[in-house]
Amino acid sequence: MSRVALCTRRLGLTATTKPPRRPPSLIRHAESRQASQAHVRGLHSTSYLSQRSSHAPKGDAAWPSAPDGGSVSDIAFAFDIDGVLYRGGQGIPGAHEMLRSIRSKNMRYVFLTNGGGAHEDAKAASLIKRLGLSLDEDVIRDRVILSHTPMRGWAREVKKQTVLITGSHPETARKIANESGPRGPLRPKNGLYIFRRLTSFLLRYGFDRAVTPADLIHANGHLYPFDKLKDTLHSEFRPLPDGKSASAVTDPYSTSVAGNALRIDQILVWNDPRDWSLDIQVIHDLLVSHKGYLGTFSSRNGNRTLPNNGWQQDGQPELWISNLDLVWKAEYHMNRFGTGAFLEALKGVWRAVTNGAELQYNALGKPSQFTYDYAHTRLLQYYSTMEGGKQADGGRKDIAPLRRVYMIGDNPESDIRGANEYCPEDGTEWVSILVRTGVWTETEAEREPRYKPAAIVDDVVDGIVWALRNEGVDIDRKTLLAPGAGGWNEGG
Ligand SMILES: [Mg+2]
């Protein structure tokens, strides 16, 4: 199928959730039919990608060149992390040598993970440690995109709202969400320094009014009738913002709400929740409420004359899920539940409570188109800001066009599906490569993944070799991993 036909089909996808009411030019998660890229197994297989684009710009000396004189300066890579670069605490053999190699060639790449709950810098430090890299190497930093990173680009008016935030460590999530940007006076150093400080300030998370489930059970001891784990999991809490109360409402059906009643505007499931019971209770309470006021119950709920039988039709908060991964690969020999499993549990309870109504939510992370948009923009803007790279423009954040991006992942449902379905407006082609080191395993029952990649390879090193060969670069695994990567074919 041609790319145009594929993209046309993608645009016709049916969204399972309603369009966003308020925000931030965000794109909702959409169920889709699987893309139809050719399924190629191994490094030497043929594929629809064998017809390389002929409009590649001429390469400069810093870039490996294809034999026909084309360049790979307009290709880039997006790496998933868990199951691709490391598995549990162990780096995938060859991964750090491969990264040094492509970095030494000034190739563009980002790390696009559905992981979250930490700051991007902390994830970068973790990746550096697990891969055996040193902190002073410019191989990882400023390239990590977590599931919730796109929230940095949300509109300021949304960030001023009151949000409920939960995740594996809600207090940690709140501290990150509160992030106020760089501290200290902005002393003139140079243009690049000032530019980065301003960018960092504008792209901070900046949610000033974030509430956690722990805040709520400390504010109202009757809200949750079971063990509240106040001395352990939920020991950290803060007073509700702006002097609001979690006990102001006593009549759930009254539409005359006290001025100090707590209202939540957005619900952010930051990453894998720990206390599913409490979180589902609190999220349910807000989704059945009148305009997000805690402790109320909307009179529209169950009204069959309204869309979705009246559920989530009364100004309730938007529900944001940071990723949809049902499972992920950790150190245990079997896949473990992820944020997507929590969502399925919430859907089940919601279906039972509402007699079958749809749970309306927004999804970030892979395979969300918004997340791929964010990564694509980062890759486009990346070249001129690379430290140690070519900065003939003085490091300005110019747009450097892309022709093709290779997404290397281990999860067909997120990494592969997202790349297959993503059609950026500039016409760049996103190509998916599946590795065997992570979530997906070929079994008797599943000989092929549901969402088919352009290639299936043994590991991330083979993935890069496959991609470069697809671009016509004469390279093999040994050459790619050679110290200093001096064996790369520079001249074709
Ligand atoms: Mg993964």
- DSSP string covering 78-123, please? EE--BTTTEETTEEPTTHHHHHHHHHHTT-EEEEE-S--SS-HHHH
Average pLDDT of every residue of the chain: 81
Contacts of 187 (CB under 8 A, 6+ apart): none
Note the pTM of the prediction, 2 decimals: 0.78
Distance 411 CA to ligand 1 centre (A): 6
Distance 324 CA to ligand 1 centre (A): 12
pLDDT at res. 212: 98
d(C-alpha 489, C-alpha 67), whole Å: 9
Give, to the nearest 10 degrees, the angle between helix 95-104 and helix 460-470. 30
Distance 487 CA to ligand 1 centre (A): 30
Q: What is the tens place of the pLDDT at every residue in 289-324?
A: 999 999 999 999 999 999 999 999 999 999 999 988
Q: What is the tens place of the pLDDT at every residue in 130-180?
A: 999 988 888 998 899 999 999 988 899 999 999 999 999 999 999 999 986
Distance 412 CA to ligand 1 centre (A): 9
75-147+366-385+399-483 and 152-186+194-363: identical CATH topology: yes
Distance 407 CA to ligand 1 centre (A): 12
Q: Which CATH code is given to the segment(s) 152-186+194-363? A: 3.40.50.1000
8 Å CB contact between 131 and 96: yes
Is pLDDT above 70 for 16? no
- In degrees, rounded to 5, the angle at the alpha carbon of residue 462 between the alpha carbons of residues 461 and 465 is 90
Contacts of 315 (CB under 8 A, 6+ apart): 290, 291, 292
Distance 83 CA to ligand 1 centre (A): 5
8 Å CB contact between 365 and 414: yes
Confidence grade of residue 73 (pLDDT, cut at 50, 70, 90) = confident
d(C-alpha 195, C-alpha 492), whole Å: 37
* φ/ψ of residue 357, rounded to 5: -70, 155
Distance 79 CA to ligand 1 centre (A): 9
Confidence grade of residue 191 (pLDDT, cut at 50, 70, 90) = low
Distance 315 CA to ligand 1 centre (A): 36
Distance 417 CA to ligand 1 centre (A): 13
Q: Which CATH code is given to the segment(s) 75-147+366-385+399-483? A: 3.40.50.1000
Segments making up each domain of the chain, as ranges:
75-147+366-385+399-483, 152-186+194-363
Distance 444 CA to ligand 1 centre (A): 22
Count of H helices and E strands in the chain? 13, 15
Distance 309 CA to ligand 1 centre (A): 37
